Structures are given as C-alpha cells and as structure tokens.
Chain A
Amino acid sequence: MTKQEPIAAQSCGIVLFLSVMTDFVLAPPALSGTAQSAIQAVLLCTVLLCVLLPVFLWFPVLTGKLFCALYGAVFLFASASAFLQIQRFYTAVSDVPLSQSIVFGLLLLAALFAVSNGWAAIGRTGQIVLLVFLLSILFLLLGNLTHFRITNLKFTQNLPQKTLTDCVQLFAIPAEILLFCMPNQAKSKVKKAELQKAELQKAIVAIGGVLSLLLLCAELRLGAYGTNQTQPLYLLARMGGISVFKRTDVLHICAWLFAAMIRTAALLYGAKMMIQECFPHKRDAIYTALTALLVTVAAGMCSGLSFVLLRGILSVAAVLLLCAAICGRIRRNVPCANKN
C-alpha cells in the first residue's frame, strides 16, 4: 500500500459539514412542502447517521485492488456528481453563463490543483471556507429576518407519512465518510480514531441543526410560495438584503461555490488515492491525468441522472462496501483496528 497523508480529525468534520451543506444548498431535494415534516426528517436522518457512523469507522475498508477500485469508483462518481451540481447551479444563477464545458474544465483544473496540494491544504482551506460559509448563512438569515411571518408556517396533514417521505428524499450516506475510513486511517492510533469519530458526530449534529434552521427560515419567509421552488435558499439570497445592499446573492453564490469546491477537491483526492492504490509506482502526473479523465467520463455518464437518484445510488454503494468490509473482516477474523 502506498503511503498516504493522514487525514486530520478536525478537517474530517469540516469537510463533511461543507459537503452535506453544499449538497443541500446547490441541489436541494424535493421535499413534501412543509418545514414541520422536513425538520423532523432532518432530525431523524441526523440520528440515523450518528448511529451508523461508528459502524463505518469500526469497519474500515479492506485492502486489495478490487476494494480500492470499488472505493475509487464511488469517489469518482461522487465527485462527478459534485461537479455537475456546481456546473448546473452556476449556469442557473448566472445572468450570462459560460458554456457548461468551460465551467466543467475550470472546476476540474481548480480541483486538481487543490488535490495536488494534498489533504492538509484542502483541510486548512476548508477551515477558512467554513467561516465564509457560516457568515453567508448568517447574513442570509439576517437579510430576511424582518420579513419572517409566523403565519407563513404551514400545517402538515399526514405528518408521519410526509416525514417518512422526506426522510427517503433526504437520507444519504455521504461518500466523504468513506474517505475517513480509508486503510491508512485504520492504521492510525485508537485515540485519533476516537477524536475523528467525535469530530464527525459533531459535524453531523451541526448539519442537522443548520439544515433545520434553514428550512424553518425558508418557510417563515416564503410560506406557500417556497413549496414549488427548486432553489429556495438561493431565492432567500436573492430576496434578502442588508441595509442599502439589496442584492447580496452574488456574495452568497461565491461562498457556496467555495464550499462546493472543497467538497469536490476532497472527493477527487479520495479518487486519486484509490487510483494510486490500483496502479502503484507511477508518476504523479499520470495519476492526475487518469483522475481527470475518469471523472470526466463519470460526469458524462451521470449527466442524464437526477441528483436524488445519484445520491441514492452512491448511498447504496457505500452501504454495500461497508457490508463487504464487515463480511471480509468476519471471514478472516481480523479485529477491527479502530475498536477499543
């Protein structure tokens, strides 16, 4: 196995937070239409992910080219999906958008540059981007605060049924979690693994909290109008203003795209690592070129699919890989590396 850069525990939490948040902000799933059911679904998903997370971390991936190829495929498709999300979002919100291929090319170059700088650089940039992203969310809420109306909150009929429907739409196992249980992570010390688990759990709880707040605020501002909107948060960004600044949406878009770039870079980093595992002892430029080529092919394959479907497929793939890891461990009777 080639030597990999260890992933700092704090960076894991930050990358996970930014990934899930941008996934929700750039390509929000179609929910049943009320904040009440959506918030309940978010909280349920949060609990579910918190429960599943230790299982993922206790059963780190198996080594071997086949497993690396499978993990690599998941990362490639996840990063392709992230690229497409940014590409479609950017094209939708631009007054005079660049052509989609140029956007994709630029994003790919930027992400490859981030990957070439290594995980530590992605993690450190993630810290700054997190701050910018949180400020954006804060200003988004402040900009709309005076227009919140409690009477905009809608009543949910058949609440349990709608909560379950929203749960199905919302629940996903982010591919980034797989990144944190890579083989090199398994070899790390127990204390670090515990720290990583704590950071990830904190991130998941923070995601649940921020998403619930955003859903509530979107309904308080938009009411029934928000129901059929494909981009309710972008709409909030367009409507909200602070003092004399009436159109701050461009600033929000920048912050969200930065966060999305961190996600893409992290996933592409995972893909490159796995390609390295599959074809060891080659030059770095070859790995970079191969990653770029494969992610472009993956993006081409995914371009016709909806993000909800992609999210579902990637979640199922993650679960299958986890099951395979568990089975493999049991068959070989190998103790779990991260377990106390």
Chain B
Amino acid sequence: MRKQKLKALVCAICLLLCGCSTQPRLSERAIVKAIYLDQTGDIIEAALVVFTCDSGTDLSSVNGQARVYTGSGNSVDAAITAAEEKQNKKPFYAQNELLLIGNGAMQGKATSLLQYFTEEETLRQNLHVFYTPALCSEIVAYEPRMTEIVRVCEGMIHRLSGKTQFAQSVYALRENACGYLPVLKLQDSETMPVQADGLLLVQNGCAVASIDGIAMQLVPLLSEQTSTLTLRFTADDIDTTVVMQNLFLEKEIENNCLSLRLCGKAERCTQNGCTLQKDDGRHVIACANEQLERAFTALHEITFLHKNDVFNFAWWLRQQNNAEVEQALSDDAFYKPQRVRFQSSIHAA
C-alpha cells in the first residue's frame, strides 16, 4: 500500500512537472493565417495576416478580426521577424495554409524565397502558394476585408484540393521553383473580394507566362489531379458547354517519344443552355477535342519546349529508356516538339 502511494505521488509530481515551462496561452498567440512576400531590389517585404482570439476560444474556430502586420529586411527571416515584432503576441504558424507571392518576387527570385518555407520547421511545408499582383501596401489597404479574403482563399484551397487542384504546395515547387501558381486578384467587389484569375507559369523562380482559358483547365488534367472537365467555348458562334467525366490520360512510349491520349466521356453537351441530341452532340464533341488539342499545343509551346517540364513527361520516357533520356538531355536534344504528342479522344456517353 505504501508502495502504491509512493507511485501515485511520483505520478502527481510528473504531472506538475509538465507545467514547468512557461506555455503561452492561446489568447497570447497571434494566429498567422496567411503570409505575403514581395521583393524590391534586395529588400524583402513581408506581411502577416494575423488573427487573435480570446482565452477559452478553441484553436480551430478563430473568428477574430484579421490584422495585417508588415516588415521588411534583407532576408525572408528578417522581414518576417520585423513583421512579427509589430505586435506583442507569440506568432503561431501551424494553421497557416496560404503563401502569397508578389510581383517583384516573381522576377527570378522566388526560388530562394520558397526554399525558406521548405526549410523552416515551424511552418507548414504544404503551404499553398499563390501569386498576387497586389503590392504590400495594397494588402495593408485591404485589412478590413482580410478576414473574408482569407476565408475565400482557404475555401478555394479545400475546394480545389477535393476536385481540381490548381494550387501547388511550396515543397512541390521547390526544385528550381518550376510549376504554376494560381493568380489571385484582390478586388473591391462586395460579394467577391478575391478572384482566381488564371495561372502563372513559373520557371527557375521567374514568371514566364500566363495560362488561362482551356489551357488552364488542361493543366490539372495533364498533372493527373482531376478526372473531370467542364469546357466552355464557342462553336459555330454559339456558346457551347461540354461536361466531361472519367477522364484519363493513356500513355504510350515508342522510339523515345510519348503519345498522350485523353480518353473519357462527354456526359452532357449544351448550346445556349439547351441539351444537344446525339448527332449534334457528336459534332460539338469533335469541336471540343479540337479545342483541347489546340490548347495542348499552346501549353506545350510555353512549357516543355521551353525546357520547363511541369507535367513530368520525362519521367514517363525514362520508364522505357533512362539512359537515352539522359543522353538526349546532355545533347540538348530532349525538348523537341515530336517528343510528346497529344490526342484528345473524348466520346459521347
């Protein structure tokens, strides 16, 4: 019995020991929900979108008014620290899912900025990276609407993650910072303070082109991050919509060339809001196939043919003959138009 009491006493002491460290209370935390970064010359500007909450509030339901704190410095760390020091609470980054990169940072300097976020352990490595043409001062100006902006952006990430994922994680972009970033535009609209407006193609940390329209819709398909597509285009001067489902890319490798065939079914074809019958539908589907092939050619031109293999075509070619791919890469003969062919073979349901 005495032994049991001793054990209980030891356990109680252990429990008390857990409180030895000075743990900051939740109300003493500044919950960072978004980070904005931009670069002008050698100066990096950072803006932290911070939420605070009252004591007793659950961490998952932070509902306070967002505040924006800015700072600048010679490095990302210095800029973020300067922004942190503008307020007196301990920053908490574990809930942050948004990283907004400004225009200045996309002029060839994004690689080092992104590298900071992949190496910093207090941050989430799966932050979603967005591009915004807004300046740091504009972000501050939008402070009264920032709560709504963050909510819309987070909704966008979760919606996109579930269905069509345009946003890439910071770690996925790390290797030479090649990839694509969704473009976010802040606007004065009452209903929609922020809008996704196309994709920005990034190569070696530098913005190289914009992707929009059908080419933008083709991006998640080629990245195999979606299997559905709603195509809107004009066929014979009529507004046409084709809803496609169960899409997949069939790959065939022959003579060190990759043939991609987009297969799937067109579930519904409409023109001016009217559902088309079979024969008319076939014509529209043929137009849709043509549109997709044209979009691929345009996309291929700005990505693969510019040595920016964002869709990892080389990986599939390596499956057949890795040595040949390596040889072609070293001979600068890899990124050729005939290396990857695309055919759209969508058929009626």
Contact = CB atoms under 8 A, between A and B. Distances in A.
Interface of A: 92, 95-99, 102, 105-106, 109-110, 113, 116, 146, 149, 151, 155, 222-225, 235, 238-239, 246-247
B16 to A, nearest CB: 11
B33 interface: no
B315 A105 contact: no
A149 B24 contact: no
Given A149-B224, A238-B125, A239-B126, A99 B94 contact: no
B171 A225 contact: yes
Given A102-B20, A225-B118, A95 B94 contact: yes
26 contacts: A92-B121, A95-B94, A95-B122, A96-B21, A96-B23, A97-B21, A102-B20, A102-B21, A105-B17, A106-B14, A109-B10, A109-B14, A113-B10, A146-B161, A149-B224, A151-B312, A155-B318, A222-B171, A224-B174, A224-B175, A225-B171, A225-B174, A238-B124, A238-B125, A238-B126, A246-B97
Contacts of A222: 171
A113 B14 CA distance: 12
A113 B7 contact: yes
A212 to B, nearest CB: 21
B74 interface: no
Given A95-B94, A235-B125, A155 B322 contact: yes
Q: Is the interface of B mostly helix, strand, loop or mixed?
A: loop
Interface string B89-100: 000101101000
Contacts of A247: 94-95
A95 B10 CA distance: 26
A149 B318 CA distance: 16
Interface in B13-64: 14, 17-18, 20-24
A246 B96 CA distance: 11
A146 B169 CA distance: 13
Contacts of B175: 224-225
Contacts of A96: 21-24
Nearest to A144: B126
Question: Sorted from nearest, which 4 A-B pairs have the closest CB atoms?
Answer: A151-B312, A151-B315, A225-B171, A239-B126
A222 B126 CA distance: 10
A99 B21 contact: yes
A89 to B, nearest CB: 13
Interface in B148-203: 161, 169, 171-172, 174-175
User: Which residue among A92, A97, A116, A155 has the maximum number of chain B CB atoms within 10 Å of its CB?
Assistant: A155
Interface string B296-316: 000000000000000010011
Given A96-B21, A238-B124, 12 more contacts: A92-B121, A106-B18, A113-B10, A113-B11, A116-B7, A146-B161, A223-B172, A224-B174, A225-B174, A239-B124, A239-B169, A247-B94
A340 to B, nearest CB: 43
A223 B10 CA distance: 46
A92 B124 CA distance: 15
Interface in B105-154: 118, 121-122, 124-126
A115 B149 CA distance: 55
Contacts of B121: 92
Contacts of A224: 174-175
Contacts of B23: 96
A98 B21 contact: yes
Nearest to B312: A151
Contacts of A109: 10, 14
Contacts of B122: 95
B125 A110 contact: no
Contacts of B17: 98, 102, 105-106
Contacts of B169: 239
A226 B237 CA distance: 50
Contacts of B18: 98, 106
A95 B7 CA distance: 30
